[in-house]
Chains A and B, each alone.
Chain A
Amino acid sequence: QVRLVESGGGLVKPGGSLRLSCAASGFTFSDHYMTWIRQAPGKGLEWISYISSTSSFINYAASVKGRFTISRDNAKNSLYLQINSLRAEDTALYYCARALFGVTTAYYFDSWGQGTLVTVSS
């Protein structure tokens, strides 16, 4: 079955950096678009980035553009999120999710990891 496992979160000072990873298994990773979504404590879901299967298409939410970089290594079945210039408001649980696409359905996120917590505090 599809499994997504995030790692790399932790406590970091404002202005610091982290690299989050998402290890995928149970499906052909290289066939699928992937996405990162975050959730601040007690708040709703915020989509932050998306990457196509071959890394040809990448998009970011305005709130993270220029500070976050999404990437993937299909040989390692892994998705990454490099997060720089961290701010207190970046404190959140970061989820990776698989994005399925259909011509008549567009994208939907059918499988999610359990998330990795990033805490930004001095």
Chain B
Amino acid sequence: DIQMTQSPSSLSASVGDRVTITCRANQSINIYLNWYQQKPGKAPKLLIYAASSVQSGVPSRFSGSGSGTDFSLTISSLQPEDFATYYCQHSYTTLFSFGPGTKVDIK
């Protein structure tokens, strides 16, 4: 099975900061990597699919990159509504799996 890891597990940042979260797969997954945002008490929300395609309605400050085993999610200028937990998820096979999450909170 494909295992996903994320780093860091948590980070503290200020409004306006540039934030980058990384995700790694234990084997190549091509570009089949998605990113989700989850706020407390809410369902996850799709941000990025296929490594770098931004979901409709998602602000342009969110971007994704990577291929193979290493991926990143970048928030170019952190906004108050971006404080949340972020998960990566592979879809290289239909035995999908998520990373453990990265919690972004206020410094």
Contact = CB atoms under 8 A, between A and B. Distances in A.
Contacts of A114: 43
Nearest to B53: A105
Interface stretch (B16-24, B67-75, B76-84, B97-105): B97-105
Nearest to A105: B50
Interface residues of A, number: 25
Interface stretch (A44-52, A68-76, A78-86): A44-52
Contact of B43 (A35, A105, A107, A115): A115
Interface residues on B, range: 20 to 34
Q: Which 5 A-B pairs have CB atoms at the shortest separation, nearest pair first?
A: A108-B49, A105-B50, A107-B91, A106-B32, A112-B43
Interface string B18-39: 0000000000001110101010
Interface string A86-122: 0000000001000010101111111011110000000
Interface of A: 35, 37, 44-47, 50, 57, 59, 61-62, 95, 100, 102, 104-110, 112-115
B9 to A, nearest CB: 10
Interface of B: 1, 30-32, 34, 36, 38, 43-46, 49-50, 53, 55, 87, 89, 91-92, 94-101
Contacts of B94: 50, 57, 59, 107
